Structure 1
Amino acid sequence: MEPKTCTQPAQSTRPRARDLGIVIGGFDTGPLNAITDVPGVRVGHTTVRQHPDVHSGVTAVVPDSVGPHTPLPAGMFTGNGYGKLIGATQLTELGTLETPVLLTSTLSAFRVADALVGWMLERPGCDAVLSLNPVVGECNDGFLSDIRARPVREEHVRAALDGASGGPVAEGCVGAGTGTSALGFKAGIGTASRTPDLGGRRSTVGVLVQANFGGTLRVLGRTVTPQSLGLVDDPAPVAEAGSCMIVVATDAPLDARQLTRVARRAVFALARTGAAYSHGSGDYAVAFGTRPEAGAPVADAALGPLFEAVLDVVEEAVLNSLLAATTTTGFGGRTLPGLPADRLLEVLAEPATLLTPGGTVA
């Protein structure tokens, strides 16, 4: 039986963090609180499912007009390099992005890269291109999906690229996030945006995360686990494994060096959510600018608000990925619970327990 596919699934009806009154940081969001608030950025998903064993897919972040003749300034940062970020060395060496950024499952990454190359070579103006650097990130969805089946194929990649659009971005169990998990819960794709002021210039920064990393969830300083919410009796066996891919887009005029600094903060932000950065985690951020013609880069001394906004926006995007995801039973009958909004609010409303310097409860 062929896996069922879905392109551009409907936006989740589950609440996002801000719908619950969970506000992270003091910067305003963009109109959609999504990476597509950055002008010229589109997102496409193809979800690939075959119950009960296959829960996978591909997600495309597509900047307008990006190509080998019209590269965008870009930077990247690796927090822990247990991963397969295809195209990383040239991205780091040249500081330019030549293709959309695609996200998928670990063992499907190589097929996805090949399909991306084929799609790019067909773009207008690329008929004489002899070299191309596809950028494809991945997370291991093998806990819930039959990863060895490598279910993501060329037609799925092309559907995500051709169907990429602006507007609201589907989150949770969609595209590259269909089979991923984070911090003991079912997770997936999450997004958010901010509009900091950089030396008198209002800019937009947006992120999209593929959350699949280990650790213990923290929300507004509170520790939240499936056990504390009464969802399971024992910790999930994947609690210390996994990865996270972060894509950052901004219309602020930044050069590649500055975008690398932005990418570094994006990975740092995972610590706010409770990330463990374990041995087996691949924690990567790719940051690109959409306005290479916008003039002189922002002065380094004016980047403080942007750095802070990136910390806030990644934290919120991870939380959105958890809130949008639903309990999933997958390969081998393994199940991971979704994060229930009502129970989360109950935990956040409980009085905080404080310890005195002597270790006793205050």
Structure 2
Amino acid sequence: MAPRIHDLGYSPGIHPPGPTNSILDVPGVHISQLTIPTTTSSNSKSPNSTACKGLTLISPRPPQSYHAPCAASTFTFNGNGELTGSRQISDWGFINTPIAFTNSLSLGTVFDGIWDWILEQQDSKNWSGRDRSRNYGTPAVGETADWLVNCDVKASRVGRQDVARCFQNLRSGADGGLVKEG
């Protein structure tokens, strides 16, 4: 495994890293990742190399408490990516939905998949229309372009069933939920 930035002597931020040096050192945070091979990469030197599509899902709170506000902010690095819900985060200063990262063509599908999950959670709690409106939040879904590595961009789309599977696999640090980076 490649060294992490902390292993190279740089420690970003003002706080020391946690025991696993990962996002899961933060109590209550849950994460899940799904990586699916798609097609042979158009940018690979190896004919056996495959490009992948994927999804990373982060729940800042335990899944059953996803709607509890969590302090949040946004930062625009280059202005060429989309992050749904970013205006709401900037305005409110918190987030009350899961956060996802995927490829460009999957942004809408992942957004819809998060809404499917949120509505299922609300139904299971028998929330009224008033409860739903008081706990409203726009899901945050960030994207990155994978057009160079995925020669068949249609095959690189993540489906709503993939989002549902990712939600089923949410794990915290206490659950041994560490996932590989990348």
Q: Which residue of 1 aligns with 2:153?
A: 147
1:66 is matched with: 66
Q: Tell me how far 1:15 sits from its aligned partner.
A: 4.6
1:162 and 2:171 correspond:
no
Cα distance in 2 for residues equivalent to 1:101 and 1:66: 10
**Which of the two has higher C-alpha Rg?**
1
Quick one: structure 1 residues 126 and 24, their matched pair in 2 at CA, closer, same or farther if it must change by over 3 Å?
Answer: farther
Amino acid at match of 2:37: R
Question: Aligned pair 1:33/2:21, yes or no?
Answer: yes
SS of 2:109's equivalent? Answer: helix
SS in 1 for 2:52: strand
Provide the secondary structure at the position in 2 that maps to 1:138.
Answer: strand
Q: Secondary structure at the match of 1:80?
A: coil
TM (norm. structure 2) is 0.75
What per-residue deviation string (whole Å, max 9, x for no partner) do you get for residues 240-259 of structure 1?
A: xxxxxxxxxxxxxxxxxxxx
Return the offset for 1:36.
0.2
Say how many residue pairs are matched.
Answer: 157
The RMSD of aligned alpha carbons is: 2.4
Higher helix content, 1 or 2: 2
2:176 is the counterpart of 1:171: no
Which of 127, 138, 153 is equivalent to 2:143?
A: 138
- Deviation >4 Å, runs of 4+: none
Displacement of 1:165 in angstroms is 0.7
1:94 aligns with 2:103: no
In structure 2, do the counterparts of structure 1 residues 30 and 126 end up closer, same or farther at CA, with 3 Å as the change threshold?
farther
Establish whether residue 57 from structure 1 lines up as the match of residue 54 from structure 2.
yes
Deviations 1:67-102 (A, max 9, x none): 1xx222221121322111111111211222121110
CA distance in 2, matches of 1:163, 1:76: 26
Using the size of structure 1 for normalisation, the TM-score is: 0.40
> 1:22, CA displacement in angstroms?
2.2
Between the aligned partners of 2:89 and 2:57, the Cα distance in structure 1 is 17
Q: Residue 66 of structure 2 aligns to a residue in which SS?
A: coil
Change beyond 3 A, Cα 1:79–1:72: same
The alignment partner of 1:61 has SS state of strand
Asked if structure 2 preserves the Cα contact closer than 8 Å seen for 1:48 and 1:151, the reply is no
* Deviation, structure 1 residue 151: 2.3
Distance in 2 (CA, whole Å) between partners of 1:150 and 1:56 is 5
Paired letter, 1:166: S
Give 5+ residue unaligned stretches, structure 1. Answer: 1-13, 173-187, 189-362
Where does structure 2 lack aligned partners over 5 or more consecutive residues? Answer: 42-50
After superposition, give the CA deviation of every residue in 1:184-218 in whole Å (9 maximum; x if it has no partner): xxxx3xxxxxxxxxxxxxxxxxxxxxxxxxxxxxx
- Superposed, 1:283-298 pairs within 5 Å as none
Q: Distance in 2 between matches of 1:50 and 1:107?
A: 14
Letter in 2 for 1:101: I
Maintained 8 Å contact 1:66/1:72: no
Secondary structure of 1:81 counterpart: coil
How far apart in 2 are the matches of 1:76 and 1:18?
A: 22
The amino acid across from 1:17 in the alignment is: R
The answer to whether structure 1 residue 16 and structure 2 residue 3 are counterparts is yes
Shift of 1:133: 0.7
2:55–2:100 CA contact under 8 A, matched in 1: yes
Matched residue, 2:114: 116
Q: Distance in 2 between matches of 1:28 and 1:73?
A: 20
Please show how residues 317-336 of structure 1 align to structure 2 within 5 Å. Answer: none
Q: What aligned pairs does 1:309-320 form with structure 2 within 5 A after superposition?
A: none
Question: What is the one-letter code of the residue matched to 2:89?
Answer: L
Q: Which amino acid aligns with 1:38?
A: V
Q: Which has the higher contact order (CA 8 A, sep 6+)?
A: 2
Q: Which amino acid counterpart does residue 55 of structure 2 have in structure 1?
A: V
